[in-house]
Amino acid sequence: MLRVELRSITKRFLISAVAFLSLSSLVLVGQNNPAKTGAWSGVLVTSDCNADEAFNESPECLKNVPGAKIALYDDTNRVMYSLEPQEKVTGHLGDTVTVRGTLDEDTIQVTSTEPMSIGLAVGQKAPTFSARDEFGHVQTLESLKGPNGTVLLFFRSADW
């Protein structure tokens, strides 16, 4: 008798759980993901290019293609974003920019585009700094300076 009641209870529970999950799925299908306002940085490429081609810096990504639009390739996340409206995209293919707007799925509704400066301009003096090198020795701008100047290269590893 107890087994029959447990089976009956288990069966009712399973039927209730399936019904709940089915209703939850229907509700979720009807919901849209809320748009996210923010800023995204990357390289302007043609929409005819995919993330793998952009990551590999294919020259095809920087060519004007009839019917293609300008897209943003975010190399930090390896994601391509469509940009709308195209009239608000200032810059040219290959430019590194910051795009401000609202992200809706994979499309940024652009409010502004501004050039992104990476590093120092040629001839600009580097700020004073100290950092440990790969051997643990403290290096400064002065300790690295050579007779013909200094070239600093900071490499961001994919493991950071």
Q: 103-137: per-residue pLDDT in tens?
A: 999 999 999 999 987 677 777 787 888 888 899 99
- β-pairing, 138-140 with 130-132? antiparallel
Question: Which is more confident, 72 or 121?
Answer: 72
Is the peptide bond prior to 147 cis by the omega test (within 30 degrees of 0)? no
Summary mean pLDDT of the chain: 79
Among residues 117, 39, 121, which one has the least CA distance to residue 72?
39
Global pTM exceeds 0.85: no
